[in-house]
Amino acid sequence: MDESRRDAQDPQETGARSGAEPPDPSGVDDGQDQDPLLQLLRLLTEEQGSSKTANQLGVDRKTVWRALDAGRLTPRLRDALERIQITAEREAPSGDQLQLRVEGLERRLQEVQQRLADGLAGLREDLSNLRQEVRASARSLPDETGSETASTAHRSPHRNHPEVVMVDVLPDDAEVFGAAMPLITEWRQQQARFDQHWPSLEGLESEVRMLELELELIEQRRLTLPPGQLPRAWDQRRREARRRTQRLGTARSALKRARRRRRLLRLATLSFVNRWRSA
């Protein structure tokens, strides 16, 4: 009786007791891999080894070896593998979640593409403006004979740089600046008025008008204003115009506040006079 039981024992168990090598988890016998849980056991063993797999399932390595070799799972192994399978299915994203993630990534990609397109359009516009300024600056340069081809200012024996506007009036201003002379005359008047009345309302009005004239003289007439003493290149004029534009915005806001205060003061004064007369 004992001899028959010994003969009926699992050959793999006998091999495990005698120190034989564990079975190859990738080996496939006929019909053994039909069970999805058995396939999961093979996958776990291939990825992390029999020892970690046994610890994860709560069994010993021999149990894992016997199951892989025989192609059959014990009830305990089956229950443990089912728990692992259920946990993996819960943690895996559903089809709807994956679709939402894909749609979100597509929207982000479209936004990035749109920002790139807008940025390229802005760069093209800046490049076009820059080319126009370069061509305008080139037209104002002296030609080979030393005469200017397109410039507001004309050469004068009384000054080295006819493109530079002086604060003081010079005898040949009208000849040098030509059509820009009325603007320069008004600019000098507004500057004197600004120096005299600022920060009163009259001074703020002069500051606004003075800055408007300076922008026209710099951008359209391509002239250099004090404190500049040498003709400015196109990039320097661009920076000067940008600074004056910022200052003009501040001056206009200050002028609006000053006018509002004057109106309120007049109303308060008028109200006081009326009350005094009716008393």
Does residue 268 form part of some domain? yes
User: Where is the domain boundary, 91, 119, 148?
Assistant: 91
Burial of 187 per CB tally in 10 Å (0-12, 13-18, 19+): buried
Does residue 113 form part of some domain? no
Q: How far is CA 36 from CA 31, 39, 73, 101, in A?
A: 12, 5, 11, 29
Does residue 188 form part of some domain? yes
Q: 68 is in which domain, residue-wise?
A: 2-91
Specify whether 274 is located in the same domain as 178: yes
Does residue 256 form part of some domain? yes
Does residue 145 form part of some domain? no
pLDDT per residue rounded down to tens, the chain (279 residues): 443 333 333 333 444 444 445 555 554 444 445 688 888 888 888 888 888 888 888 888 888 888 888 888 888 888 888 888 887 767 655 555 566 667 667 777 777 777 777 777 777 777 766 766 666 665 454 444 333 333 444 555 667 788 888 888 888 888 888 899 999 999 999 999 998 988 888 999 999 999 999 999 998 889 988 887 788 888 888 888 999 999 999 999 999 998 888 888 888 777 766 777 776
User: Where is the domain boundary, 58, 91, 124?
Assistant: 91
State the total domains in the chain.
2
Residues, the chain: 279
Helices (H), 31-94: 36-57, 61-70, 75-91
Does residue 49 form part of some domain? yes
User: Where is the domain boundary, 73, 91, 109?
Assistant: 91
Does residue 98 form part of some domain? no
